[in-house]
Structure 1
Amino acid sequence: MKMLFLGGVFSQEQEPEIIEKSKGGVQYAANQFQWTLIDGLLKIPKLDIKILSAPFIGSFPKEYNSLFINGYHHVYKEKITGDYVPFVNLWGYRNISRKRNLIKQLTQFISDKANQKVILVYSPHSPFLQAAVYAKQKDPSVHICLMVPDLPQYMNLREKKSLVYTQTKKLDIKIFESNLEHVDSFILITKYMKVPLRVKEKPCIVVEGAVNIQNNNIELLSNIKSSNSEERVFAYTGTLNKKFGILNLLEAFHQLEQSSVVLKICGRGDAAEIVSEYAKKDKRIKFLGQVTNEEAKSIQKSATVLINPRPNNEEFTKYSFPFKTMEYLLSGVPLIAYKLDGIPDEYDDYIYYVQNDSIEALKAKMNEVINLSDEQRLEWGQSAREFILHNKNAEKIAGDIYNMLDNITKK
């Protein structure tokens, strides 16, 4: 099978420049998920895979400092080639530029005479799907598989959106939906996506995420902090959007009476200024701003308790499984979170769920978990880690995806 992975991934070599030029948050979670999936696909002997990407970065001038994004070519792990297309990054025009330059790179894939040709499109980003549909129109044997980590109408959850943005987004969604009929199969983050995406009888698989087990399953962690002699650390690493419950987290922690607890917060978003204000009035709150992906992982593994404060109080949570959930569970550190509609029941034994959306409930759960014994936290965290390693590792998930595609395209 010939597969083209068409997405928004960026390489490790590109990361420093993207961090430097980004004015908003860097999409680490999406980038890591894509690479994890690619690593899993690389383990399949019968699969010939290449990468084509228009990296997920903010638009110029408000979210990114570069108007022109240069093309880039590299070989990943000395196994597969990755082509990153150049494009004009101007807001309002960049989707057109991204589509055009992706299409230019598709010539070789279209002309290939392989019996099984699949374009795996990551994300319902209209330029990606438009480019894939172009390839299918040129060669009807091409199979388009669309992976949907978020529905397009919920991809920007910031509070303030201009009228121009809102109208432009509506047009973008119409373009995306007009191309949906050309999609042959789906990879969905939650089962609830089937209806808005009009999947109906088309083949699909539900994949909440995946983790890379390399260097992770050698030994389990034992880094739980002593509750008697050392500070105990709550940590949140991710996008600082108000809709993700950041304000409730800040207030719940602020109301904790223990002097030996610390809250570390990393990231960017529309709540960043409020986080800074809380950090000034409560010295136990440490706002670290935007950090690299490796720094975020280090903070997670050295924490006592991890928190994802996203509440289950809006429609989008039916179509949401935060990527950081996988990352947090993999760390071996206990996780406090809410039971989102999009979280399958199989995770229930591995997450400390907050009972309701009130600040009091979040505070109570934080008190409960931080006051557990070191042994209790370690046992819980390692149990969750083992669940993720055995059931959600990249090789297994990639194998499930490949088997679905192979069964369809070899007919």
Structure 2
Amino acid sequence: MTEPSYSSVDPEIVRTLPKVVLHDHLDGGLRPRTIVELAAETGYDGLPTTDPGELEKWFFDAANSGDLPTYLTTFDHTTAVMQTRDALVRVTREAVEDLAADGVCYAELRYAPEQHLAGGLTLQEVVEATVQGAKEGERAAAEAGHRIHARLLLCAMRHADRALEIAQLLVDNYGEHSPGEGYVVGFDIAGAEDGFPPSNHVAAFDLLRSSLIPVTVHAGEAAGVESVADGLRQGAVRIGHGVRIYEDIEAEMSGLELGKVARFVRDRRIPLEICPTSNTQTGVCDSVEDHPFNLLYELGFTCTVNTDNRLVSGCTMSGEMVKLAEAFDLEYWQLLELTTNALENAFCDQPLRESLEREVIYPGYAELGDAMDLAVDEGSAAAAASGIDALHGEHVHSHGVGAEEVELSMENLRAELEQLGLSFDDGDGDADGDAGSDGGADAGR
């Protein structure tokens, strides 16, 4: 590992760090060459160009429209080539491989089964194809030396009337002993948000709630606070995007005052699936530097970082983290916090969550601390704590940060470690301790 820069995060180091993505659309992350090849195989002649490089640029340029409806038109081309079993297997497999190559160790890929029926597939066949692709992607990544666990979210299109049908499809494929084999883990509604509230699909949400299946909804992207509130009323335990929650925050003489919805989201620790680049393309903000992320983060909201659509937004998980770090002067320990926020709110089972924390995520950051020239006793809980200590302890202090700021950073880190059952105090830290239920979003506030 190369020597890190202590004044800012190093993009190459960020690329090697373990990451978790909760919001990544399967039909928004295809490889351009795959689109061209699948179009040729299926006879689709609607592509704006068949040159992969030019096509990649076209998607990015077309997505920079400044509004969500126009942004969504780019998906006409990707879904057009995802209408056969082989295409769905390939696209899913490649998505998992690409995410793993970018350091992602856990990914939730979402898609709308109802958009892949034009070639004669049934809804069930669509699900089974993506499950097969996820399994193949995990195996291919492992052969390349990467550990990744992929899971699938089924979306209903909010402007259509098939949400109850998709919810039943999810119920039928939920759990490791179902045809979904444990890969299908949650529900979402997607598509044009403004004018199509979650409450249009009450029957679907009722079924999922009674079946104890977790739900996230797109809200607070193209529409405002009421969209978020409506999603919460339908049982959403995460909010896709959700960044317009800032509209429920007022500046008073005494400071910032949170409205009822914003306070609920913050205090109940409802995770926001923030997608920085995508939010600039759909008109939430003009640039990442203007993004409300920092306001929400500093106010104690549970923030996670996501890609949304890797092709359409021309982004990666590593790139999104670097953009936020550079815009808001984030440190490595804060990237760890955002990563553990995501994992703690993933729709996977607890044993997998704990395994990834202890075997992948935390060791990855401890290795970074070790690279900062801090002596560690490899393999112990105290060693991991000492390695992370270097991320914002001794080295930051040696570059002129005041003692009060260092003390605050150490306090934040200690909170992070305690959630993982680790301690600074001695070499006997309990590496098998309870990971806790509160997440890391209150650290650093």
Alignment TM-score > 0.5, same fold: no
TM-score (norm 2): 0.31
- Name the structure with the higher helix share: 2
